[in-house]
Structure formats: structure tokens, C-alpha cells
Structure 1
Amino acid sequence: MLEIFQSLRLTLLNTGYAKLNALWDFDNVISPFTRMYYITKGSAKVYHSNKVFDLKPNHIYLVPSYTYARYTCEDYHEQYYISFLEDISNGLSIYGIKDFEYEIEADQNCLYYFQRLVELNNNRKIKNSNPKTYDNRPTLQDFIKQNDTLNAKELLETQGILTTLLSKFITNHKINKDHVTPNKAIYLIQNYINENLHAPITIDELANKCHYSTDYFSRLFYKTHGIRPNKYIQSKRIERAQLLLLTTTSSLKEIAQKVGFENLAYFSRTFKKHTKKTPAAFRKEQVTI
């Protein structure tokens, strides 16, 4: 198991310093890379993993890859930012084998690491903070190629800083074998589900993507997650709906459609089955807390 962890590879995409205002307001962001922030001034919010994170100065934040997120800033804030790809043996993700915090108070070295990374890679700034302008496969390939412009010293130092910063978010020192996804195909299917909750998803479709029979795929998925694929998809749709109810002003019908329910009544019944509350009651309760 340690050999898997030792194969961790981090690939820098972007880094820079940004001064942001209320235009920093983006919903339905699901990126194939990890984001990291060091806040220096002001305040903002990031919603992901069913939590709300109030971005505060002298704190660093982690948003894992393939995680639905929403970003908002009511007034103004300044941040150092980093985005990078991560993978381990067999193309899996470190987030499948370790537990992470997503917000930590920065120690005395963190600011230096962010500043040094920008200094080493001063041509890696994001020109437009809207994820739609850079969060796509062709543009990511252009970012990856920029690593070829680094010399050996710069590349090793860049990778060392990324590894050091990522390690600060890990909450346990032992690899959690219960969280290991034993099959790359199942891990990729998890990402596919996260990216496509707004659309119909069938088990036959998922099995075909893995080149497995439907029965074998279902058994392997159950062995990995302890839940049948259909129930897993449904639970992820409800999790996403809860976050949308909390972080947007979208109507119930709009939210239902965003998480793959064309029928509002069926969405409401399913939501109540999972949460013991109707969507409207859940939203009202959260707003008044």
C-alpha cells in the first residue's frame, strides 16, 4: 500500500495572486484538478463537500478534484491560488486513500511557499477568473505543457512545494484501506457520475464505459462502496440538491433539473425519503438557522 502512496504525482496547472470582487460568483464548478487558496485580505465563501467554508485571511483552503463547488464573494478579497492535477498508481486519486481537512490555519511557512511557487512559475496566472474560460480539456493541456519550460531545479522545487502544501491537509498518518478504490474504472465512474448528475445515468451506460457486463459492474461497485449503483447515484443527486438549496436562489424546479429529476413531485418525494424533509422545508430551515 505504501508503494501506491509513494507513486503520487502532482502536476502544476496555474498559480498566481488575484484581487477579486463580487464578480467572483460561480456555480456548478466541477474541475478535474485540485484547487488551493491562501487568503490574504477580505472574505469570500466556497461551498463543497456539503459544507460552507468562510474564506479568512491567513488560512489555506483545499478543493479536491471532481468535487462540485460554488464560489461567492459579496465584496472583496485577495488570494494566492494554485491548481494542479494529482494521481497515484494506476491513475487513481489520493483522495481515495486519505482523509483530508479542507481548511487549516496557515503556519509561518505557508505564505512563503505560495509566494515562491508564483515566483518560480510567474507565467502561470489565470487571466480570467471565470472557470468556463480555463476549465476545459484543451486549455488544461496547454497549462500542462508549460511544465516543460521549467529547468530541473525549478521543476523539483515546484513539485516539492506542491507536495508539502498538500500534506498539510491530510488528517491521518496511516493509509485508510477502507477508502481505497481497488479499480481505476470504478474511480473514473465516480468522477463521471459527479460531472453528470444533471443528466440521465443508466447502469448499462456505466458498465459499458468500464467494458464490463452490467452484472459484474454492479457487483464490483457494491464491493467497493457497499451500496448499489442506482442508490449511490440517487444519494449523490440529493447531496447536490441540498447544496444547491443552501447556496443558490434557484427554484425547486430548477434545482430538480440540475440534479437529474425532470419530475418535481418525484424529486420532492425522493428528497424527503433521504432527508426526512421536503426541499422547501429544508431550505427554509437552513435559512433561518
Structure 2
Amino acid sequence: MPGKAMIKKVLKYSFSLLHVDHVRLNTQWNYKNVISPYYRIYYIDEGVGLIQTHHGAVELLPGHLYMIPSYTLCNLECKDQLSQYFIQFFEDSADGISLFSGKRAVIQRKAEPVDILNIQRLLEINPGRGINRSDNPRVYEKSLYYREYQQLNNHQLPNRYLETQGILLQLVARFLEASNPQKNPLPLPSVIMDTVSYIQLHLQNPLGLQLLAGRVNLHPDYFSRLFKEYMGERPIPFIQEKRIERAQYLIITDDMPLEAIARQTGFDNLSYFIKIFKRITNLTPGQYRTQHKIG
């Protein structure tokens, strides 16, 4: 059974609903290089679609649930017809560490009857939360629209807000179960949890392997292997991904120059920042900012 520490760790997360709706899509739902600062959950009730990531292609099939964690680069495609319920929401945690940190890949689960009831109930108690402008992410993924929909959460009655949170927690839990490898059923070691928290809080500072290993009194090689075992990648690629995720957030929420964003996310060289940003997102920082601007 999980201990109190694990329960407190999980319950520190909350979710902010952006959109929920039921839509019918066709071949116009064909978008490349989508990378969003929020989560998506799909329940497919008819038709077939496709999500492509660098991990491979995932077919969207009726009777299944799919989650795309935030900052997961993907292509969305429908070759004929697709009927889906979709939910989009932001994740928030006290230390900035995602429940799915290091797992930026599409997760699939067979839908249970309670999942379908939960999604339909979420839609019922959150009317008018669809995307009325377009199904194109380049149209609706704007910082102004994020604020507009998040404000709706502030006007919810307390009972509706709590019920919305409860449903989102139940749905996320289904994917959290699927994302935990059986080979690693134990909680993260304290040295890894401490390191991930330190990275998140010090992205603007130098973060080398020697420094991180020295903080937890481990040999750099052993520390690097241990980090990869639990986080899925070595410390330096992990740091780069977290820095770029932070940069994406700053780009869509702040008008500061890219040079300043690079400095705030730990890059002292603008050209290197642009190189890493494009490698992870397939877009330059300037292209990403243009994509998220109104107009």
C-alpha cells in the first residue's frame, strides 16, 4: 500500500480546465508540429485518427482513451471521419514537477464505463467550454484565450469546481497507472526527487552533471545512470527539455525579448538557445512566438 508521503505527493497536484466538448472531425483535422503547454485527453466513440510523435504512431480507435501530456510534440491526423470527446487542461503543482515528468509520449487506455460517464458529466457541468473558433491549434492556442477560459474556472460554484477537479483527478489517475513501468514500481529515490526539484527551481543557473551529483554525494557516472533509470533520460537532456518548456511558457505569457528568455532559462548564448529550442519543438523561438500571437 502507498505510504502517507506518496499520497501527499500525488494530492499536491491540481488541474485547471480549458476545454471540454464532443466533436465530429474530418480530413481537415490534419495538423503538424503541435506542442501545447497543457494536457489533452481524447475519448474516441466513432471513426479512426492518428497521433504521431517521435516515439511512433498511435492509432485513435473507438472505445479507447488517449492522453497527450503537456509539451509533447505531435502530429494530429484524421483520414476520413472521427468522433471524439476531448478535454484540455493545465497542470499545477507546488514544486513545478509534472506527474508525467520524463514521459512525454501518448498514453492509451481501454475506456471503462465509468470513464465515459465521467467525461459526459464533465461536459454537462461545464457547458460552453468547447473551442468555437476553430479546431486548428494555431488559431485557438493563444495566451489571451488561455486566460479567458481559465477565468471561467474562477466563476464556478464551489460544488461544480470540486466536482470538476474530482473528475479530472480520476481520469488522470487512469493514465498515471498506465505510465508506471512494472519494472520500477517503487517511488523515486529521494536523491532523484531532490535533484528534479532543484533543477526546476534553478533552470536559470548553471546545472552541470558534476554539480548535481555532488549535491547528493554520488559519483557522476553512477548518478547519471540512476537518473536515467528513474527519469528515462540522462540529466543534461532532461535539463534542456525543462528549460525549453519554461521558455515556451515565457514566450506565450510575456513580451520580453528572446535574449532575456534565453538568459532566464539558463542559456547564455542565443544561437545555442535557438538550436536546442528548434531541436525539441521543430520551431524556432521566433516561429513559436508568432504562432501564439493574436492576429
* Fold shared by both chains (TM-score > 0.5): yes
1:58 is displaced (CA, Å) by 1.1
Equivalenced residue count is 217
* SS of residue in 2 equivalent to 1:94: coil
* Matching residue of 2:30: 25
* Matching residue of 1:176: 187
Q: For 1:133, which of 139, 142, 156 is the aligned residue?
A: 139
Measured against aligned partners, the alpha-carbon deviations of 1:51-78 in whole angstroms (never above 9, x if no partner) come to 3111111111010111111100001111
Give matches, 1:158-177, under 5 Å: 158-169=164-175, 170-171=177-178, 172=180, 176-177=187-188
1:182 is displaced (CA, Å) by 3.4
Q: Could you say if the C-alpha distance between residues 185 and 126 of structure 1 is closer, same or farther in structure 2, counting changes exceeding 3 Å?
A: farther
Q: Could you say if the C-alpha distance between residues 156 and 100 of structure 1 is closer, same or farther in structure 2, counting changes exceeding 3 Å?
A: farther
* SS of residue in 2 equivalent to 1:167: helix
Aligned mates of 1:210, 1:116 — CA distance in 2: 39
1:214 is displaced (CA, Å) by 5.7
Q: Could you say if the C-alpha distance between residues 125 and 228 of structure 1 is closer, same or farther in structure 2, counting changes exceeding 3 Å?
A: closer
Percentage of matched positions with identical amino acids: 28
1:231 is displaced (CA, Å) by 9.8
Give matches, 1:2-17, under 5 Å: 2=6, 3-17=8-22
Q: Could you say if the C-alpha distance between residues 4 and 100 of structure 1 is closer, same or farther in structure 2, counting changes exceeding 3 Å?
A: farther
Asked if structure 1 preserves the Cα contact closer than 8 Å seen for 2:21 and 2:86, the reply is yes
Give matches, 1:20-99, under 5 Å: 20-48=25-53, 50-96=55-101
* SS of residue in 2 equivalent to 1:211: coil
Aligned mates of 1:97, 1:160 — CA distance in 2: 25
Matching of residue 213 in structure 1 with residue 206 in structure 2: yes
1:232 is displaced (CA, Å) by 7.9
- TM-score computed with the length of structure 1 as normaliser: 0.65
1:104 is displaced (CA, Å) by 1.0
Aligned mates of 1:210, 1:154 — CA distance in 2: 36
- TM-score computed with the length of structure 2 as normaliser: 0.64
Measured against aligned partners, the alpha-carbon deviations of 1:237-286 in whole angstroms (never above 9, x if no partner) come to xxxxxxxxxxxxxxxxxxxx9638xxxxxxxxxxxxxxxxxxxxxxxxxx
* Matching residue of 1:186: 199
1:162 is matched by which residue type in structure 2?
Answer: L
2:38 is matched by which residue type in structure 1?
Answer: F
Aligned mates of 1:100, 1:125 — CA distance in 2: 25
In structure 1, the gaps of 5 or more residues are 189-208, 235-256, 261-289
2:64 is matched by which residue type in structure 1?
Answer: H
1:161 is matched by which residue type in structure 2?
Answer: I
